Structure 1
């Protein structure tokens, strides 16, 4: 984990803001053994965030996995053909 954290610092990456549920993963257990974490994330550096300054991340709802689906919308960006 320390190597991953160092890579984020070296690449000047930051966690992008999101809307939706706070946690993206659950271990599927019950009661005191149940664990929720935010494992899944989108990152960007300053250049990317300036280029896509209206981008936003959404955490969806659980369907068939122990991870929530995440998607990023790049508002105002025209898709390439």
Structure 2
């Protein structure tokens, strides 16, 4: 899966994902209210909310790495 496919799955299906990185449970859940998306991400005990999917994809939130950097090295479980 590449980033464009992941973005499509998130935006079209409303899917979130979980994975483990650097020994920490990580993931993201999608919320939609009045056609406005919010993406709630977590990495271990840290949480962060995003309103822009591109920022979610490129922010180095997961132990100093972005999901763009990690997509080929972690197994995403979709929720």
With the length of structure 1 as denominator, give the TM-score of the two structures. 0.26
Structure number with higher helix proportion = 2
Question: Which has a greater percent of strand?
Answer: 2
Using the size of structure 2 for normalisation, the TM-score is: 0.26
Say which one has the larger Rg.
1
